Amino acid sequence: MKVAAIDFGDVRTGLAFSDLTGFISGRALTLTANSKAELIKKICAELKAERAQKVVVGLPLNMDGSEGDRAAKARAFAEELKAACLLPVVMWDERGTSVTANRLLSDAGKKKGKQRAKVDAVAASIILQAFLDAGGGK
Protein backbone atom coordinates (compact mmCIF):
# COMPACT_ATOMS: atom_id res chain seq x y z
CA MET A 1 0.00 0.00 0.00
CA LYS A 2 1.38 3.40 -0.95
CA VAL A 3 1.21 5.83 1.96
CA ALA A 4 1.77 9.59 2.06
CA ALA A 5 2.72 11.69 5.09
CA ILE A 6 2.23 15.39 5.66
CA ASP A 7 4.06 17.81 7.92
CA PHE A 8 1.46 20.60 7.92
CA GLY A 9 2.71 24.15 8.41
CA ASP A 10 1.46 27.70 8.14
CA VAL A 11 4.00 28.68 5.45
CA ARG A 12 5.42 25.42 4.10
CA THR A 13 4.03 21.89 4.16
CA GLY A 14 6.12 18.77 3.71
CA LEU A 15 4.78 15.81 1.75
CA ALA A 16 6.45 12.39 1.53
CA PHE A 17 5.49 9.16 -0.21
CA SER A 18 6.33 5.55 0.54
CA ASP A 19 7.30 2.93 -1.99
CA LEU A 20 4.52 0.73 -3.39
CA THR A 21 4.97 -1.86 -0.65
CA GLY A 22 4.56 0.65 2.18
CA PHE A 23 7.98 -0.33 3.53
CA ILE A 24 10.20 2.72 3.11
CA SER A 25 9.84 6.47 2.66
CA GLY A 26 10.78 7.75 -0.79
CA ARG A 27 9.99 10.92 -2.71
CA ALA A 28 9.52 14.02 -0.57
CA LEU A 29 8.74 17.63 -1.44
CA THR A 30 7.77 20.93 0.12
CA LEU A 31 4.60 22.73 -0.94
CA THR A 32 3.61 26.35 -0.45
CA ALA A 33 0.23 27.93 -1.08
CA ASN A 34 -1.57 31.22 -0.55
CA SER A 35 -4.52 29.56 1.21
CA LYS A 36 -5.45 26.31 2.88
CA ALA A 37 -7.87 25.56 0.03
CA GLU A 38 -5.06 25.96 -2.52
CA LEU A 39 -2.76 23.78 -0.40
CA ILE A 40 -5.36 21.02 -0.17
CA LYS A 41 -5.91 21.17 -3.92
CA LYS A 42 -2.14 20.80 -4.53
CA ILE A 43 -1.89 17.93 -2.07
CA CYS A 44 -4.86 16.09 -3.60
CA ALA A 45 -3.24 16.42 -7.05
CA GLU A 46 0.04 14.98 -5.73
CA LEU A 47 -1.76 12.15 -3.92
CA LYS A 48 -3.64 11.25 -7.09
CA ALA A 49 -0.50 11.39 -9.25
CA GLU A 50 1.38 9.15 -6.80
CA ARG A 51 -1.63 6.84 -6.33
CA ALA A 52 -1.44 7.08 -2.56
CA GLN A 53 -3.96 4.94 -0.70
CA LYS A 54 -3.61 6.37 2.81
CA VAL A 55 -2.49 9.70 4.27
CA VAL A 56 -0.73 10.29 7.57
CA VAL A 57 -0.86 13.81 9.00
CA GLY A 58 1.66 14.77 11.66
CA LEU A 59 0.04 15.63 14.99
CA PRO A 60 2.12 18.26 16.82
CA LEU A 61 1.63 17.23 20.43
CA ASN A 62 3.19 19.10 23.32
CA MET A 63 6.15 17.35 24.93
CA ASP A 64 3.87 16.15 27.76
CA GLY A 65 1.54 14.52 25.22
CA SER A 66 -1.23 17.11 25.53
CA GLU A 67 -2.78 18.85 22.55
CA GLY A 68 -2.58 22.59 21.97
CA ASP A 69 -3.57 25.03 19.25
CA ARG A 70 -1.23 23.52 16.63
CA ALA A 71 -2.71 20.06 17.18
CA ALA A 72 -6.23 21.46 16.76
CA LYS A 73 -5.17 23.10 13.48
CA ALA A 74 -3.62 19.84 12.27
CA ARG A 75 -6.79 17.88 13.12
CA ALA A 76 -8.99 20.41 11.29
CA PHE A 77 -6.66 20.30 8.29
CA ALA A 78 -6.77 16.48 8.28
CA GLU A 79 -10.59 16.50 8.24
CA GLU A 80 -10.67 18.94 5.31
CA LEU A 81 -8.07 16.88 3.45
CA LYS A 82 -10.03 13.66 4.02
CA ALA A 83 -13.19 15.24 2.61
CA ALA A 84 -11.41 16.77 -0.39
CA CYS A 85 -9.16 13.88 -1.41
CA LEU A 86 -11.50 11.01 -0.43
CA LEU A 87 -8.71 8.98 1.16
CA PRO A 88 -8.32 7.57 4.66
CA VAL A 89 -6.41 10.01 6.87
CA VAL A 90 -4.76 9.11 10.18
CA MET A 91 -2.95 11.30 12.69
CA TRP A 92 0.59 10.46 13.88
CA ASP A 93 2.63 11.92 16.73
CA GLU A 94 5.25 14.18 15.15
CA ARG A 95 7.06 15.34 18.29
CA GLY A 96 10.70 16.09 17.56
CA THR A 97 10.55 15.60 13.80
CA SER A 98 11.51 19.17 12.89
CA VAL A 99 14.47 19.07 15.27
CA THR A 100 15.57 15.73 13.80
CA ALA A 101 15.09 17.03 10.26
CA ASN A 102 17.22 20.12 10.97
CA ARG A 103 19.93 17.94 12.52
CA LEU A 104 19.96 15.59 9.52
CA LEU A 105 20.24 18.49 7.10
CA SER A 106 23.03 20.09 9.14
CA ASP A 107 24.88 16.78 9.30
CA ALA A 108 24.55 16.57 5.51
CA GLY A 109 26.29 19.94 5.20
CA LYS A 110 23.26 22.04 4.30
CA LYS A 111 23.56 25.68 5.32
CA LYS A 112 20.87 26.99 7.70
CA GLY A 113 19.37 29.39 5.13
CA LYS A 114 18.98 26.65 2.52
CA GLN A 115 17.68 24.14 5.08
CA ARG A 116 14.46 26.05 5.62
CA ALA A 117 13.07 25.06 2.21
CA LYS A 118 13.80 21.36 2.79
CA VAL A 119 13.15 20.80 6.48
CA ASP A 120 9.40 20.25 6.03
CA ALA A 121 9.93 17.58 3.35
CA VAL A 122 12.47 15.81 5.57
CA ALA A 123 10.12 16.07 8.57
CA ALA A 124 7.33 14.49 6.47
CA SER A 125 9.72 11.66 5.56
CA ILE A 126 10.52 11.11 9.24
CA ILE A 127 6.80 11.02 10.13
CA LEU A 128 6.16 8.58 7.29
CA GLN A 129 9.03 6.25 8.18
CA ALA A 130 7.97 6.12 11.85
CA PHE A 131 4.42 5.26 10.76
CA LEU A 132 5.67 2.57 8.36
CA ASP A 133 8.05 1.12 10.96
CA ALA A 134 5.08 0.76 13.33
CA GLY A 135 3.30 -1.37 10.70
CA GLY A 136 1.00 1.34 9.33
CA GLY A 137 1.82 0.63 5.70
CA LYS A 138 0.26 -2.84 5.70
**Whole-number pLDDT of residue 109:** 65
**Whole-number pLDDT of residue 63:** 86
Per-residue pLDDT tens over the stretch 102-128 = 576 566 666 666 666 687 888 899 999
Task: Classify 16 as helix, strand or coil.
Answer: strand
**Whole-number pLDDT of residue 118:** 82
> With DSSP H G I counted as helix, E B as strand and the rest as coil, what are the percentages for the chain, rounded to 5?
45, 20, 30
Q: Which residues of the chain are under the pLDDT cut of 70?
A: 96-97, 99-102, 104-117, 137-138
**Whole-number pLDDT of residue 5:** 97
Domain ranges of the chain: 3-133
Give me the CATH topology for the region 3-133. Nucleotidyltransferase; domain 5 (3.30.420)
